[in-house]
Amino acid sequence: MLPSIPFYMIRHGESVANLGEYASGHIDVELTPRGLEQARNARKIVESLDVKPTLIVHSHLQRARITAEILNENLDIPMVQDPQIAEQNYGDWEGQPWSLSRQPIRDFIDPPNGETHAAFGERVKATITRHVNGNKGPIMIVCHGGVFRALGALYGEKIYGVENCSLHHFEPVVTQAKFPWTIRKF
């Protein structure tokens, strides 16, 4: 299981795939003007935190990378690009309308010629564990909706519909055996 250390997670700003309602997965789509504005608004929230992150870890995909760069404009903290925190590889579903793939993904049906949900979950767990354990202060992970979904699935929880650029603080709660954090959304 993941370490009981607080951390932040934020989904990237709105991408052209979000706007076009198709599964992007590993397709490197750009942010929309609205996505850029969402990142600038989220930056204000991050800058107002009582306990600020000391490191930003972000996916190599530009929608997460650019969101991270905007969030860090005034914080000026170290950033680490890690492709292991990227979205699930949706295989044949990439580029297809969400109307065809959203429900199978939520039902944990493995995408044809893509990354299995089990492999994706293990990748997410290993990557978050490595970065949380390797840093003295709370980290902020700038990632994708699927990373939230995979993290929840590791504990039997369903985390769907995370909004673009919504910041979440994961605070450990020792007494909660099933899902060991309380999640505060900003």
Q: Classify strands 55-58 and 139-143 as parallel, antiparallel or unpaired.
A: parallel
CATH at residue 92: 3.40.50.1240
Does 2 map to a domain?
no
| Side-chain half-sphere CA neighbours of 162 within 13 A | 27
Q: Are 17 and 175 in contact (CB under 8 A)?
A: no
Is 26 an active-site residue?
no
Q: Where are the alpha helices (DSSP H) in 134-182?
A: 145-154
Which one-letter DSSP state was computed for residue 163?
P
Longest dimension (CA), the chain: 44
> Is 132 annotated in some ligand binding site?
no
Q: Is residue 1 part of a domain?
A: no
Tell me whether residue 113 is annotated as binding.
no
Q: Are residues 54 and 139 in contact, defined by beta-carbon separation less than 8 angstroms? A: yes
**What integer pLDDT is reported at residue 176 of this predicted model?**
63
Length of the chain: 186
In a domain, residue 145? The reply is yes
- The total of structural domains in the chain comes to 1
Active-site residue, selected from the candidate residues 12, 58, 117, 168: 12
Does residue 87 have a known ligand-binding role?
yes
126 is known to lie in a ligand binding site: no
CA 18/CA 67 separation, integer angstroms: 15
Catalytic residue among 21, 69, 73, 87: 87
Was 29 annotated as part of a binding site?
A: no
pLDDT of 66-80, one tens digit each?
999 999 999 999 999
What average pLDDT does this structure show over 92-108? 93
Structural domain range at position 180: 7-185
**pLDDT tens across 49-69, in order?**
999 999 999 999 999 999 999
**Structure pTM?**
0.94
Cβ neighbours of residue 11 closer than 8 Å, sequence gap 6 or more? 143, 144, 145, 148, 162, 163, 164, 165, 166
Annotation says 60 is catalytic: no
